Structure 1
Amino acid sequence: MENDTSPAPAPQTPQFRYYDLVMAAFVTILLLSNLIGASKPSYITLPGIGQWSFGAGVLFFPVSYIIGDVLTEVYGYARARRVIWTGFGALAFMAFMAWVVVSLPPAAGWPGQESYEFVFGNSWRIVLASMVAFWVGEFANSFVLAKMKVWTQGRHLWMRTIGSTVVGQGLDSLIFYPLAFWGLAGWPVELLWQVVLSQWLIKTAWEAFLTPVTYLVVGALKRAEKVEVYDTDTDFSPFATSTKS
């Protein structure tokens, strides 16, 4: 009788139903919030304080962090890392495409070049600041949430999502605004730090406010995917390539 020397079948990688859709939502919100709202300061009037400034993008950008929390909680740090790099690549391509399109000479008689340059012609500082802040903030957010999940043995999801946001969004705001706007006309130092503080507080408040939604989405995805990931043996290097947690 001949010996069967055929190799043993390789373990199958889990097939997730909604991972790609969550990734697409993450990248979409990331690009739109950076393209539309990043460079516009707005304000609200507070009783006894007066006008309090904040970056307009803060109204939507925190949703990308909430989706990042969902990714790490449901699919683990390693798969969230893949999504973060996908978003980083999308930001880089968006910046390149904007530079090419703005640089092309307009057709004779087209009146929109000046407005186009104002809206899409972000300086290298804003582009660099956005990409660095996103990279640092998202990886910090995912790392903290994954570690806290292990420490808490999967309990207190609200504590993990808010705690990771405090760290990730704090780093994001602290890096982006000074790197992008320090020393520019229209951005005095007082306004700059007011916007940094506002961004941090508003983003964290958004996370806390939407915690019930996060619970619903996380619960639904875990039931649908039939998965519960703990990053006990994960390589947390941002540059690792494995998707196994």
Structure 2
Amino acid sequence: MDSPRRHHRYYDLLLAAFVVALLCSNFIGAGKAAVVDLPHFGEVTFGAGILFFPIAYFFGDIFAEVYGYAYDRRAVWAGFAALAFAAVMAQIVIALPVAPGTYMANYQQGLETVFGNSWRIALASMFSFWFGSLTNGYVLAKMKIWTEGRFLWTRTIGSTAVGELVDSSFFYMLAFYGIWPTHEILQVALAQYVLKTSWEVLATPITYWVVNFLKRKENEDHYDIHTNFTPFKVKV
């Protein structure tokens, strides 16, 4: 007989915040290639969503470190489902007949420009996010056992570096191949990987504070010693 599931005060709130951050970063920022002029490097092109997408990995580290891989896996599936629903909704809204009038004609054109490629972005996001996030959670969970719970920074940075490598290797090629020039895709993907991983390094003090707060408040510090790491499971 399975043991009863523990009640956590903050997990559901964190899960909701995670899904919101994931949706916004993928549908608002992912389609825009921005540029910044950096000293010694010149102009660097990057996807605008990179400013906020690392928040999803920030939450993933917290889920895996505090609650365990199973809770992180559930969050990943929740994000996956939310992206799928948003993509279907966007395509239905675009396909509906447009009411007459100049305003609605311009509005429809704007929707198609912003969300017309959303099905492809969503598929690329779901595929790369699913693999990258579960890889991130798996690496962090294993490293926590290897380090016996010490050196949190090695787990958060190390797992993000591996997870983001998987994510960045797939997303921009799947989402924008044939739309953007190939050299721009590679440049943006590389910048995405470097900046996302750097973001995790800079966020380390915040991660320490949040993780320690949750461990204390939730009375939880899970070790995935007997965990079933199959990705095709939602139950915790």
TM-score by length of structure 2 reads 0.95
Residue in structure 2 matched with residue 58 of structure 1 by the alignment: 50
For residue 216 of structure 1, what is the aligned residue in structure 2?
Answer: 209
Shift of 1:160: 0.2
Residue in 2 that maps onto 1:120: 115
Shift of 1:47: 3.2
Find the partner of 1:238 among 219, 226, 231: 231
2:196 — aligned with what? 203
Q: How does 1:1-245 map to 2 (within 5 A)?
A: 11-109=3-101, 110=104, 111-122=106-117, 124-184=119-179, 187-243=180-236
Match of 1:3 in 2: none
Letter in 1 for 2:224: D
Helix, strand or coil for the counterpart of 1:112? helix
SS of the residue 1:148 aligns to: helix
Alpha-carbon spacing, 1:107–1:197, altered in 2? closer, same or farther (3 Å): same
Q: Secondary structure at the match of 2:20?
A: helix
Shift of 1:50: 2.4
Give the counterpart letter for 2:61 in structure 1.
D
Matched residues in 1 for 2:137 and 2:185: separation? 27
- Structure 2 counterpart of 1:83, which letter? A
Query: Counting helix residues as a fraction of each chain, which structure ranks higher?
Result: 2
RMSD: 1.4
Displacement of 1:183 in angstroms is 2.3
**1:20 partner amino acid:** D
Question: How far apart in 1 are the matches of 2:47 and 2:200?
Answer: 17
CA deviations 1:123-172 (Å, max 9, x no partner) are 54322111101111110111100010011000011000000110111111
**Bigger CA radius of gyration:** 1
Secondary structure at the counterpart of residue 42 of structure 1:
strand
SS of residue in 1 equivalent to 2:132: helix
Among all aligned residue pairs of Structure 1 and Structure 2, give the percentage whose two residues are the same amino acid.
Answer: 54
CA deviation string 1:26-73 (max 9, x = no partner): 101000001100011011113344211111000000011001100110
User: Which contiguous aligned blocks of 4+ residues in structure 1 show a shift greater than 4 angstroms?
Assistant: none
Secondary structure of the residue aligned to 1:106 is coil
Distance 2:155 2:73 in 1: 17
43-52 or 153-162, which deviates more: 43-52
Q: Contact (CA 8 Å) 2:87, 2:118: kept in 1 or not?
A: no
| 1:112 maps to amino acid | Y
**Structure 2 counterpart of 1:164, one-letter code:** S
* Normalised TM-score (structure 1): 0.92
Unaligned residue ranges in structure 2 (runs of 5+) = none
